[in-house]
Amino acid sequence: MSKGDITIKTEEEIELLRKSSLLVGRTLAEIAKILEPGVSTARLDKLAEEFILDHGAVPGFKGYGGFPSTLCISINEEVVHGIPGERIIKGGDVVSIDCGTYMNGFYGDSAYTFAVGQVAEETLQLLRITKESLYLGIEQAISGKRVGDIGYAIQSHVEQFGYGVVRDLVGHGLGRNLHEKPEVANFGRRGSGPKLQEGMVLAIEPMITLGTFKVTQDKDGWTIRTADGKPAAHFEHDIVVRKGQAEILSTFEFIEEVLKQKV
């Protein structure tokens, strides 16, 4: 059902979206198992593609708009859309991995930022606060509120720490297309933007920087990095707008089980 350009999902469609979203979480957990100093980003990408195909889905990003890979792997000052290749991950890196799946006609889309080895405490705090802001944004994703309430919750939390909120990239609706309306900015005014209605499915994804919110794009046409070279963090969940409390379709549970075992 469509309300304007925004599609309201049926419960059957939401279950298919959940399957795609959970597969992203399982894929990122497989990546977490081998994410350590010395591994190439190409190896991570190959593992993700094989895992997704083995589970009856196809990579949601590969070929999307011409993107060449299964994963977006963005390291340190790279915010999003980094292209995997021969680059070797080093101790002290923070690695944002964004993954998409497509199965049964619906997309899943989730991201997690990993700390590899000994990472500077100020950067670890950036990761913690960015993840907190994601859940604060999700708390606002209830019917009757507005998209601006989500952005305001994220922005007001991270800016008190002096962090930057990337303006050029936003979250989005999710369904039969990877990017649907409405756009979900990580900044905004309370009570502004489209009204949230039960059954809307959104990908909420704060992209937060240690310094300036300004970003630049590499010559590859994809990689976005901070203008001042300071680190960035990115966490993303797929959610359903409900009455009283949003429902999270994706999961970090499998990822964090792996990370606990690695400590």
Strands 71-75 and 106-115: unpaired
Tell how many helices (H) and how many strands (E) occur in the chain.
5, 17
Task: Report the chain's terminal Cα–Cα distance, integer Å.
Answer: 46
Q: What is the pLDDT of residue 262?
A: 85
Residue 144's contacts (CB-CB under 8 Å, 6 or more residues apart) are 195, 196, 243
Alpha-carbon distance of 259 to 247, in angstroms, equals: 24
Q: How far is CA 73 from CA 14, 19, 62, 136, 196, in A?
A: 27, 23, 13, 25, 31
Residue 142's contacts (CB-CB under 8 Å, 6 or more residues apart) are 196, 241, 242, 243, 244, 245, 246
The fraction of the chain above a pLDDT of 90, given in percent, is 97
Report the chain's C-alpha Rg in angstroms: 17
Closest CA to 137 of 80, 196, 198, 205: 205
Residue 2 scores a pLDDT above 90: no
Q: Token pair 């350590």 is at which residue?
A: 36
Q: What is the pLDDT of residue 1?
A: 59
| Preceding omega of 182 cis (within 30 degrees of 0) | yes
Alpha-helical segments (H) within the chain: 11-34, 41-54, 121-139, 147-159, 253-262
The DSSP code sequence of 15-40 is HHHHHHHHHHHHHHHHHHHH-STT-B
Mean pLDDT rounded to a whole number for the chain: 97
Mean pLDDT of the 155-173 span: 98
Residue 5 scores a pLDDT above 90: no
Q: What is the pLDDT of residue 171?
A: 98
Q: What is the pLDDT of residue 228?
A: 98
Confidence of residue 263 (pLDDT cuts 50, 70, 90): confident
> Which H or E run includes 73?
strand 71-75
How many residues are given for the chain?
263
pLDDT one-digit tens code per residue, 203-238: 999 999 999 999 999 999 999 999 999 999 999 999
Q: How far is CA 137 from CA 7, 91, 132, 231, 239, in A?
A: 20, 31, 9, 22, 11
pLDDT one-digit tens code per residue, 194-212: 999 999 999 999 999 999 9
Q: How far is CA 145 from CA 165, 190, 218, in A?
A: 21, 9, 37
Mean pLDDT of the 110-139 span: 98
Confirm if 250 and 108 have CB atoms less than 8 A apart: yes
pLDDT one-digit tens code per residue, 44-102: 999 999 999 999 999 999 999 999 999 999 999 999 999 999 999 999 999 999 999 99
Helices 253-262 and 11-34: crossing angle in degrees, nearest 10, is: 20
Q: Go through the domains of the chain in sequence order and give each one's CATH number.
A: 2-262 (3.90.230.10)
Residue 16 scores a pLDDT above 60: yes
